[in-house]
Amino acid sequence: MARKKVREYTGKRLLREAMKRIAAVELPINVAQVTQATNYPDLLAENPWLNQVKLVVKPDMLFGQRGKNDLVGLNLSFDEAEAFIRARMNKEVVINGLSGPVTTFVVEPFVPHEEEYYLSIQSGRLGCDVSFSTAGGVEIEENWDKVKSVELATGQAPTSAALAPLVASLPLELRPKMEAFIRNCYEVFDDLDCSMLEMNPFTLDPKSGQPFPLDIRMELDDTAAFRNGPKWGEVEFPLPFGRTLTAAESYVAGLDEATGASLKFTVLNPRGRVWLMVAGGGASVIYADTVGDLGWAQELGNYGEYSGAPNTQETYQYARTVIQTATANPDGRGRALLIGGGIANFTDVAATFKGIIRALREQADAIKAAKLRLFVRRGGPNYQTGLAAMQAVGAELDIPVEVFGPEASMTGICARAIDYIKVSAS
Amino acid sequence: MAPQIGQLFSKQTQSIFFNFKQKPVQRMLDFDFLCGRATPSVACIVQPGSSGFQKLFFGSEEIAIPVYPSTTEAAKKHPTADVFVNYASFRSAFESTQEALEQATIKVVAVIAEGVPEKDTKKLIAFARANNKVLIGPATVGGVQAGAFKIGDTAGTLDNIIACKLYRPGSVGFVSKSGGMSNEMYNVLSRATDGLYEGIAIGGDSFPGSTLSDHCTRYQNIPQIKMIVVLGELGGADEYSLVDAMKAGKVTKPVVAWVSGTCAKLFKSEVQFGHAGARGGGADAESAQAKNAALRDAGAVVPESFEGFEAAVKETYTRLVDEGVISPAPDVVVPEIPMDLEAATKAGKVRAPTHVVSTICDDRGEEPTYYGVTMSELITGDYGIGDVLALLWFKRKLPKYATKFIEMCLMLCADHGPCVSGAHNSIVTSRAGKDLVSCLVSGLLTIGPRFGGAIDDAARCFKEACDKGLAPPDFVEGLKRQGKRVPGIGHRIKSKDNRDKRVELLQNYAEKFFPATRYLQYAVSVEEYTLGKAANLVLNVDGCIGALFLDLLSSSGAFSAKEVDEVISIGYLNGLFVLARSIGLIGHALDQKRLQEPLYRHPWEDVLYTS
């Protein structure tokens, strides 16, 4: 299970489609997406409503507080909306200390409203928390005491009795409509393998009287993708705002998607001098921790992890990418690559090392040029063969390698690596 | 999980293993043997669509473990097996786990698969809670109770199990998210304490089937466990349940804990670490720092870093020994498990003679080869079926004129009408409704001394006579004196004035392309002599091929004299006829099937009944 945020555009599209399919309710949602690639006449042809109503334009980049930075346009005609977006497309903004260009906008009808409701559904271990408030909108935090919540246990039906506390404070005539909407949203949430859905705020469309979400945040469980193809359609899982992938990172992300194994690579400091190539989801975090604990966080080049028994070819491609990145900025000072890991349960250490060794051979010149020294620690099936091969390839390529097995502590090589870069810096 | 649950496993625990994987099952059985268990811990295997047995080793003895197509059936047959080890894929993990949880006899289910959808896991958690069952995983390697029972691949190799002393119980209860790190910690515990009593990896998902605190409260109920070691991770709030349990006095045994992921503060934006449940950028309370502080505050021993974890464990253990709470578990001698042949061979520890030798091809590399020639070369180069035959039969490349000659032989001998004995047999068999292979072999089985089998004989006789310089009349009369017909001479229909066209074609080709045709000349002079005796004693196609093959072998320069003798004596040349005629026999069999011809019955009128 891994929770992935989707754009507001996707969230609204999915809500409309699923509610029609499941509850036969047609929500008055119209929504269009604009990116750099958008052709405006085509967009209009596909969404004729864009020319029939006044519009709202918002950036759709998974960040909040959009009113600031002059990024929201209200009550615009289609031409005005186009001009608004063109003036802001690719503009660099800083949100919560993270900067990046705004590249995706969402466009929808402008709905003048007074009431602002709040609805959220959160998946928890034993059920789902459903929260509702009549005082939604930007001041939700301040009005948190007005938020009513119920927990629907896994398998529990969203009956009137169960949802009653949420709508108790509403005027009597509104309760059935609101209760039905909450129930339908819960059914949609369950049906789409959502892990989080929040509408803050939603209002009632003055024309149809139907609930109309002004803003949506949605998270999907990407491990359920295998059974949701037709329901989800084309779903994009964008990176968090401010996070762009380097070529090397996207390459590894591509490898990760294509295999049953797990391959992760995040560059922290491209000029860093301590680089990690660690086997295992648990161990990899601990290696990164340890470099930080030793006071060398600023020199940590990356976080990375390979696990779930990647084959030799996959390990080779992964290792090549890590080594290329680690050796990209030689500056005369020493660097360290930690080929670390715990004691494997079932991964054949010799087999995964075969892939790493192939990459080492191929990148030997770059490794020497960057004064990259290798520190190896690993245990598990066939570790003796794997470690001996690492020792041998170091001698063969004339690259210094320190090799440790299960008898040594797992993170001992962190201190050794740091000792090396300390000495070679002077 | 019910609060009063303590021990999940014992030395008698048996399990049902779903979706057979040879290695983890064998590792479970090897662990059993090390622990001195009387019975194997895997009672049976469930493999949808299969039944029967799987052969595995229990020590040095080979045992058969029953296989059932469904969990319901397996549980009925093995009511004492109360653990279900589920190796189903993430796609089918939900259904198989649900079925297992529904069995009254199954108490504990471990789900190995990674990537099970959250909604599915939640349903399983709800069902397990309502029915008082323990769910371990998903996305886990499982767990182990030292000296008693082990799930799947937990604790890795035998060497590691021995190094960690997992074959006998120690005093420590351990729980972590990470499977890899639990194995690392079993090593740490074997160095710092008298070893593990029980260890569980709950799995890396956001919502594990059972939690860190579930297992810690369970360890509280197991008297043999004297101290608890916990390795947590950033993300989620599970560690706080443990904090609450400690504060409420539900966990009173000494706890040594570390929550990894202090590095998350290094990342500016949200990062998904290796485990699905480990996500940076979440609430502050989910950070490693906050959880470590809360655990320390609740009375757990929490080191300053992972590096200090082993020392903290050791310190607590030593204190408990000093206080007399722990009397260190004595060591025991473990039985030696014979090495697997494969592993021993790989390690160079044994050698065993092979039972089969093969010299003509190799299918182990990137692409298969025929006597060293790759498929790519065969397909992209100018190769034909004659070249393939040369490689696989004669183990060499032959010149083009020679492989072309082989192809001509195959073409000319492919069929000879429906009335010859081979074709007739194939037709009759096909009409009896038998399958293609039966039709083919029933035809092939007629090939022998009277039908089609004369090429070898002819070659043998011509070679012997020609090499000796025997004059054709002496050769023919010599055979006659032994009561033998001259092989390769004579035809039922063809005669002096009505030569066999096939013979003529081969003869013309050989005279044009072969370096020498000494044996053909000899055969022709034999024919000249026999034609003097009767008009139908012509050189037939068998004789012609036999003679020409001798010429090919001895004049191509590709074979030594000894090799030529070998080719003739082994019977290569009949192979040519068998191969060629198979084409025709298959044709006849298919023809009859296409025509839907009924069963053939020979007419009475055509049989002379006599006594």
Both B577 and B470 in a single domain?
yes
Of A54, A85, A111, which residue sits at a domain end? Answer: A111
Chain B residues touching A266 at Cβ < 8 A: 267, 271
What pLDDT does B2 receive?
A: 46
- Domain-located, residue A355: yes
Both A17 and A153 in a single domain?
yes
Both A275 and A390 in a single domain?
yes
* CATH classification of the domain holding A309: 3.40.50.261
| pLDDT for B268 beyond 80 | no
CB contact under 8 A, A283 and B307: no
- Domain-located, residue B368: no
Both A292 and A265 in a single domain?
yes
Of A190, A292, A345, the CB nearest to B263: A292
Both A272 and A411 in a single domain?
yes
Best of B260, B272, B342, B366 to substitute, by most chain A Cβ atoms within 10 angstroms, is B260
Query: Å from B179 to nearest chain A CA?
Result: 8
Triad A77, A83, A88: Cα angle to 5°: 125
Both B237 and B193 in a single domain?
yes
- Domain-located, residue A13: yes
Most confident range (mean pLDDT) of A59-68, A260-269, B312-321 is: B312-321
**Average pLDDT of chain A, as a whole number:** 94
Give the residue-averaged pLDDT of A241-256: 91
Both A223 and A282 in a single domain?
no
The b/e string for A199-222 (b: 16+ C-beta within 10 A; e otherwise) is bbbbbbbeeeeebbbbbbbbbbbb
What pLDDT does A295 receive?
A: 92
The b/e string for B189-206 (b: 16+ C-beta within 10 A; e otherwise) is bbebbbbbbbbbbbbbbb
Query: Å from B283 to nearest chain A CA?
Result: 14
Q: What is the DSSP string of B1-57?
A: --TT------TT-EEEEES--HHHHHHHHHHHHHHT-SS-SEEEEE-TT--EEEEEE
| pLDDT for B280 beyond 60 | no
CB contact under 8 A, B270 and A308: no
**Helix (H), strand (E) counts: chain B:** 23, 16
| Tens of pLDDT, residues B36-86 | 999 999 999 999 999 999 999 999 899 999 999 999 999 999 999 999 999
Q: d(Cα A298, Cα B266) in Å, to the nearest integer?
A: 8
**Position A81 confidence tier, pLDDT thresholds 50, 70, 90:** very high
* Domain of B72, in residue numbers: 10-139
Both B435 and B573 in a single domain?
yes
Best of B125, B158, B307, B366 to substitute, by most chain A Cβ atoms within 10 angstroms, is B307
Chain B residues touching A406 at Cβ < 8 A: 160, 163, 187
* Domain of A409, in residue numbers: 247-424
Triad A10, A11, A17: Cα angle to 5°: 85
- Domain-located, residue A242: no
Both A35 and A20 in a single domain?
no
Q: What percent of chain A has pLDDT over 90?
A: 85
Query: Under 8 Å CB-to-CB from A132, ≥6 apart: which residues?
Result: A117, A118, A119, A147, A148, A149, A166, A167, A178, A182
Indicate the DSSP class of residue B329. P
- Domain-located, residue A241: no
Kindly state whether B268 is in contact with chain A, defined as any CB-CB distance less than 8 angstroms.
yes
What pLDDT does B3 receive?
A: 44
| Tens of pLDDT, residues B240-259 | 999 999 999 999 999 999 99
Give the residue-averaged pLDDT of B132-139: 96
What pLDDT does B431 receive?
A: 98
Q: Which of B63, B13, B70, B27 is nearest to B45 (CA)?
A: B70
Best of A123, A228, A346 to substitute, by most chain B Cβ atoms within 10 angstroms, is A346
CB contact under 8 A, B306 and A291: no
**Position B340 confidence tier, pLDDT thresholds 50, 70, 90:** confident
Of A111, A128, A155, which residue sits at a domain end? Answer: A111
Question: Which range among A338-347, B301-310, B446-455 shows the weakest confidence by mean pLDDT?
Answer: B446-455
Chain A residues touching B160 at Cβ < 8 A: 343, 379-380, 406
Of A60, A76, A111, which residue sits at a domain end? Answer: A111
Number of domains in chain A: 3
Q: Catalytic site residue B491?
A: no
What pLDDT does B267 receive?
A: 73
Both A280 and A408 in a single domain?
yes
Of B315, B330, B345, which residue sits at a domain end? Answer: B330
Of B305, B330, B355, which residue sits at a domain end? Answer: B330
| pLDDT for A51 beyond 80 | yes
Both B530 and B575 in a single domain?
yes
| Tens of pLDDT, residues A100-146 | 999 999 999 999 898 999 999 999 999 999 999 999 988 898 999 99
Both A311 and A162 in a single domain?
no
Both B408 and B279 in a single domain?
no
Q: d(Cα B589, Cα B426) in Å, to the nearest integer?
A: 6
Both A71 and A185 in a single domain?
no
- Domain-located, residue B39: yes
Give the residue-averaged pLDDT of B180-200: 96
CA B327 distance to own-chain centroid: 48
Chain A residues touching B131 at Cβ < 8 A: none
pTM for the complete prediction? Answer: 0.83
Q: What percent of chain B has pLDDT over 70?
A: 97
Number of domains in chain B: 3
| Tens of pLDDT, residues B545-585 | 999 999 999 999 999 999 999 999 888 988 999 999 999 99
What pLDDT does B19 receive?
A: 97
Kindly state whether B282 is in contact with chain A, defined as any CB-CB distance less than 8 angstroms.
no
Q: What is the DSSP string of A26-64?
A: ------EEEETT--HHHHHHH-GGGGTS-EEEEE-SS--
| Tens of pLDDT, residues B388-444 | 999 999 999 999 999 999 999 999 999 999 999 999 999 999 999 999 999 999 999
**Position B236 confidence tier, pLDDT thresholds 50, 70, 90:** confident
Chain B residues touching A126 at Cβ < 8 A: 122, 125-126, 129
| pLDDT for B274 beyond 80 | no
